[in-house]
Amino acid sequence: MNLSEHIQHKIFHTVSDVGAEEGKSIFVIGGFVRDLILKRPSKDIDFVVLGNGLEIAEKVANKLNIQNVAYYKNFGTAAFEFEGLEIEFVGARKESYNRNSRKPIVENGSLSDDQNRRDFTINALAISLGKSSFGEVLDPFDGLTDIKNRLIRTPLNPDTTYSDDPLRMMRAVRFATQLNFKIEDESLNAIERNANRLNIISKERIIDELNKIILSSKPSIGFKLLFKTKLLHEFFPEMVALHGVDTKNGKSHKDNFYHTLEVLDNICQETDDLWLRWSAIMHDIAKPKTKRFHSKAGWTFHGHEDLGARMTPNIFKRLKLPLDAKMKYVQKLVRLHLRPIALVSGKVTDSAVRRLLFEAGDDIEDLMTLCNADITSKNQFKVQKYKANFEKVKRKLKEVEEKDQVRNFQPPISGKQIMEMFALEPCKLVGELKNEIKEAILDGLIPNDYDAALDFVIKKAAERNLKAVS
């Protein structure tokens, strides 16, 4: 196969010219070649040089008038940006590994050595940039056939490949999910055999791969593979605990692992937001800990939304996920995810809607997206009925918000004003009066305006024998 017509960008011809001038063989290798064949967009181009990659990078940069080149001498790589492309050069190398580390011992090597060290056959493809062989594809492991058959396979023995660098197991699942490829059976079995090797990999690298799976169009593919191979058990036992169905007195509950994946796939049809997708993963995370059986009611999970919200910070901390506003956002959606469903089930009162708007604030639309994704059932009539009722709730939310303006509202009278009004020092009573104003507005007892709040707080203060100072 020759792909010369697909590599006509200036960068390829410049690299080819430098290679000819310096008498060095240079190849495009890895993911760019794979994506070119798959007709997927790619901005990352890796060049492997049979020789010093740093020197070639410098000469190419000079020809292209590029000033900012990053040199990583310890790794033998150099990188720069050019016309929106991320360019990297490296000398061909061979690697060997110490069992207790994924960091390889690196030596200079041939193109064959460099292709041998690649994780998968589809990533070991190379394109020659030599003048006489420009565009020729070098495929020592039959990666082209694997692309055609949509197969993930390692170039060498999979046990060796995965044991040497266990992160490759996560990458196998990630590529299978992103590309909708199948992992070869031998390779899949090797992942399960080596799953516990994941413990030498940092959580940051594991989560980077997991987040790429979550951001794919159908993340359930990846999560099912992570579960099947026992990789998920190594870093996310709380999600593993969702799996399974208990039956008692003829009553069973749904499998919350597969339900969670269905909710995740549903929400992915509506949003690319990583943290909204994480809220789908986390929304039922506390169900195993709250599961109870009652002779009349059957299986219940009372309070799983509150416990799930409390579990969120510790899970995020352990997984090295951010503990900032992103975590608090997920925590809020987990805590509130049953509230819109409860409105669907019962009479939608203005008071309940006001409270939901107040607590959800600017995240109300995302909460509704999560809750809509959470409507799953094999009974399509039931699903359609719930979704129709859900539309009524959304209309009610809009009506109440337009009328009462309670989203993110603060009581019209502040704590400072209450202290000045009744000559009070900072104390519990000030907070109580302010809270009563808020509750009265949310309950619809008074409108959300200053005059009504003033009359109300004077009345409530009088009940405590307080009088406003002149």
Q: What is the pLDDT of residues 16-41, one digit of tens each?
A: 999 999 999 999 999 999 999 999 99
- Whether residue 453 contacts residue 411, with contact meaning beta carbons closer than 8 Å, is answered with yes
Q: Is residue 281 part of a domain?
A: no
Please give the DSSP secondary-structure letter assigned to residue 283. Answer: T
Task: Using the 3D structure, point to which of 149, 183, 198 is the last residue of a domain.
Answer: 149
Q: How many domains does the chain contain in total? A: 3
CA distance linking residue 292 with residue 301, whole number of Å: 6
Same domain, 71 and 111: yes
Same domain, 106 and 10: yes
Which pLDDT belongs to residue 435? Answer: 87
| Token code pair at residue 390 | 């859900």
Buried b (16+ CB within 10 A) or exposed e, 80-109: bebeeeebbbbbbbbbeeeeeebeeebeeb
**Residue numbers of the chain with a pLDDT score lower than 70:** 94-107, 344-348, 379, 382, 406, 408, 470
Q: The domain that contains 211 carries what CATH number? A: 1.10.110.30
Predicted TM-score of the model (pTM): 0.85
Same domain, 91 and 197: no
Which pLDDT belongs to residue 44? Answer: 94
Same domain, 180 and 65: no
Which pLDDT belongs to residue 354? Answer: 83
Q: Is residue 371 part of a domain?
A: no
Q: How far is CA 403 from CA 348, 447, 455, in A?
A: 16, 10, 21
- Whether residue 318 contacts residue 366, with contact meaning beta carbons closer than 8 Å, is answered with no
Q: Is residue 166 part of a domain?
A: yes
Taking alpha carbons only, the member of 113, 134, 137, 139 closest to residue 124 is 139
Which pLDDT belongs to residue 103? Answer: 64
Q: Is residue 254 part of a domain?
A: no
Which uninterrupted H or E stretch holds 36? helix 31-38
Task: Using the 3D structure, point to which of 114, 149, 184 is the last residue of a domain.
Answer: 149
Same domain, 156 and 141: no
What would the pLDDT profile of 337-349 be if each residue is shown by its tens digit?
988 877 766 666 7
| Token code pair at residue 32 | 């760019």
Task: Using the 3D structure, point to which of 133, 149, 165 is the last residue of a domain.
Answer: 149
- Length of the chain in terms of residues written: 470
Same domain, 130 and 161: no
SS3 annotation, 188-232: HHHHHHCHHHHHHCCHHHHHHHHHHHHCCCCCHHHHHHHHHCCHH
Amino acid at 261: L
- Whether residue 78 contacts residue 71, with contact meaning beta carbons closer than 8 Å, is answered with yes
Same domain, 128 and 58: yes
Which pLDDT belongs to residue 253? Answer: 86
Phi, psi for 228 (deg, rounded to 5): -60, -40
Q: What domain range is 58 assigned to?
A: 4-149
Same domain, 108 and 226: no
Q: Is residue 324 part of a domain?
A: no
Same domain, 88 and 167: no
- Give the orientation angle of helix 325-336 with respect to helix 274-282, to 10 degrees: 40
Helices (H), 256-303: 256-268, 274-282, 287-290
Same domain, 33 and 160: no
